[in-house]
Structure 1
Amino acid sequence: MISAGYRPETFTFLKGLAANNTKTWFEANKSDYLHFVKQPSDALRRALQEALSELTGREITSKQFRINRDLRFSRDKRPFNAHVRMAFWPTGSTFEGKDAQPPSFFLSIEPDHIRIGTGCMAFSKPALTVFLHALETGEGETLLALLRKLQENGFEISEPDLANAPKGFPRDHPHAGLARHKGLGAWKTLGDTGLVQGNSGIAALADIWAGTLPFWKWQLGLLEKA
């Protein structure tokens, strides 16, 4: 049975790949990739999907991003990602389609740390319209309170996308700063990679995500109104 967690060798492989990001090195160490990275990642993703379904009360689906980099439009020609990244989001027609951008839970396993996050990386056009209307008509204080709570718990809030509030949003509005966001996420960096080594990491990660649940639900309600 494959463990739903990583081993120290997982991070040894990722560090080696970061230092030797070539097809030759990867092929020479592919068995380590399959045994210590891919197989436990697949098991962990399934376990976390189940844990998040229980946490949110919603059916959750997920995606694991490819280790092969898309080099077609990139000046960076390194062939591989030296990390493992996953995303988890609710199922349903509201959240389908390339423009849906549902509020999601994110996990990034890096060579020497972990990044865990919650939010929408980019609002769909309808959701962005609802977001700006919500800020302008009274929801801004609720959102600010949620963001302050996350920051108190060690989360970083994603940087604004715009230098100023968008056209049509009052520049002197108290929430003009929030209006500069075209997406909104909260991220926490965890320096202890031991957190995801072994099966205990499932509960530990779910517990961190639980602290972001009010923020996630606020964004979920936003999208469902769009």
Structure 2
Amino acid sequence: MSTYFSDASFRFLRGLARHNEKAWFEAHRADYEAHVRQPFLRLITDLQPGLARISTHFRSDPRTVGGSLFRIHRDARFSNDKSPYKSWQGARLFHERRREVAAPSFYVHLQPGESFVGAGLWHPETHTQRKVRQFIFDNPGAWKKAAHDPKLRRRFALDDSEVLSRAPRGFPAGFEFVDDLKHRNWAFLRPLDDATMAGPRLRATVEADLVTLAPFVDYLCAALDLEF
């Protein structure tokens, strides 16, 4: 089994976090290419066959423009933080129709001490939130099977970074899954330690996680009238 990332990958990202400036990045660009970007593109390439077995509508795309790998550059136009670079690298395994409609995705995140794998909807627009909530309300049995499966819950946690304080308007407070309706994001995540990220079983670990996450993503696709 091949490895992708190494101590050098984390060393570069830690350095970038400390020296988040163009001059430092350009001086260490070769390290970024050799230890972060190119290994991640190889991982993305290698994940595609396993992803295709889960769904033919999702892509693990290694193209350097328009593919799965997010740019390391930050969009700081609307942020008080003007740091030019992210101190992590992430990849989204996306739905083929992502440019047409809101769609869930799978996600792999590389960051020293904070790497993770996950899937779901992140920061969906208000009308998309409303559509998902209504689908959960109308299909609670399938939601319980997809989002409260013990195998999923043993390994993953539903992101709770943005949650309403009360039931969203139009939904009864006594609904069985009202706490799930309060979420603004529907994404399950689990941390991956540095040893796993740099180890020989990373690809197998992520592939197994994609299988575990698939029924949840399938449910979100159904909520948004997308093929899975």
Q: TM-score range by the shorter chain?
A: 0.7 to 0.9
**With structure 1 as the length reference, what TM-score do the two structures score?**
0.83
2:16 corresponds to: 17
User: Tell me, what secondary structure is at the counterpart of 2:118?
Assistant: strand
Matched, 1:74 2:74: no
Matched, 1:35 2:37: no
Check whether the contact 2:124–2:185 (CA below 8 A) recurs between aligned residues.
yes
Report the Cα offset of residue 13 of structure 1. 0.8
Map 1:17-166 → 2, pairs under 5 A: 17-62=16-61, 63-92=68-97, 95-97=98-100, 100-123=101-124, 127-137=128-138, 139-148=139-148, 149=150, 152-159=153-160, 160-166=162-168
Deviation digits for residues 27-46 of structure 1, max 9, x if unmatched? 22111111111211222222
Check whether the contact 1:55–1:206 (CA below 8 A) recurs between aligned residues.
no
In 1, the alpha carbon distance for the partners of 2:49 and 2:221 equals: 19
RMSD between aligned residues = 2.5
Report the Cα offset of residue 52 of structure 1. 1.2
**With structure 2 as the length reference, what TM-score do the two structures score?**
0.83
Deviation digits for residues 80-121 of structure 1, max 9, x if unmatched? 1111111012214xx433xx2211100110023421001111
**CA gap 1:34/1:72 in 2 versus in 1, 3 angstroms:** same
Q: Answer with 34-43 or 139-148: which moved more.
A: 139-148
One-letter code aligned to 2:208? D
List alignment gaps of at least 5 residues for structure 2.
62-67
User: Tell me, what secondary structure is at the counterpart of 1:106?
Assistant: strand
One-letter code aligned to 1:140? P
Q: Answer with 128-137 or 71-80: which moved more.
A: 128-137
List alignment gaps of at least 5 residues for structure 1.
none
**CA gap 1:124/1:53 in 2 versus in 1, 3 angstroms:** farther
In 2, the alpha carbon distance for the partners of 1:77 and 1:169 equals: 40
Report the Cα offset of residue 128 of structure 1. 3.5
In 1, the alpha carbon distance for the partners of 2:40 and 2:132 equals: 34
Identity score, percent: 24
1:180 corresponds to: 182
In 1, the alpha carbon distance for the partners of 2:82 and 2:152 equals: 36
2:221 corresponds to: 220
In 2, the alpha carbon distance for the partners of 1:61 and 1:131 equals: 25
In 1, the alpha carbon distance for the partners of 2:198 and 2:109 equals: 14
